[in-house]
Amino acid sequence: MAAGWPTKANYATGDVLSATNMNDLSGTVNLINPSAKGDLYAGSAANTYTKLSVGANNTVLTADSTTATGLKWAAASSGLSAATQAEMEAASSTSVATTPGRQQYHPSAAKFWVYYTGTGTPTIQVSYGVSSITDNGTGVYTVNLTTAFSTAAYALMGGADKLSGASGPTTLVGTCFSGAYNTNSFLQQVYDLQGTLVDSARVFCVGFGDQ
């Protein structure tokens, strides 16, 4: 029995097929009889076909020149892979994706920020990456971080609301960060324009660096 299927070179319009001709056709694509749902028939050589059974659920048909049919079933690509912490810190790859759980490792991302009340018992109002605020006396607070920096070389910015009353040297305030930076905490001070430490109703700070 010949493999393959008839071509124009073999048969012309109006040809009458003999029994021999029909036997020749018995293995051709004209008489393919799939044996299972999802069966595919692909050319495996000139005038030759080979059955490719259906693949597993959620697989996709993929070209593969090493197989008999030139095709295979393979797992679907998941697309971009998630960036590792090291890749986020390097900030150079353009072939991986940022995920919510690792975006903070990018050098441009704030590692923490906080808004807390500085009057009475310091209370965090809203924050990210800050575990608590310690009251060290009038206008002096320790900001405690949830995740420590890898070194004490990190950058801080801060601010505070003015005190009540007309604007002046005793109501306009500023903040500074005093003492040595610890990897997991630092001191923030609030003072008026005369240099006196004061409590402000709203104190803010944000930090950048490597964790």
Q: What is the CA radius of gyration of the chain?
A: 37
pLDDT band at 201 (very low <50, low <70, confident <90, very high): very high
91-113 burial, b at 16+ Cβ within 10 Å, e below that, comes to: eeeeeeeeeeebebbeeeeebbb
For residue range 98-145, what is the model confidence (pLDDT) as tens digits?
888 888 889 899 999 999 999 999 999 999 999 999 999 999 999 999
Question: How many C-beta atoms surround the C-beta of residue 65 within 10 A?
Answer: 6
Question: pTM of the predicted model, to two decimals?
Answer: 0.62
User: Residue 30 pLDDT > 60, yes or no?
Assistant: no
d(CA 86, CA 68): 42
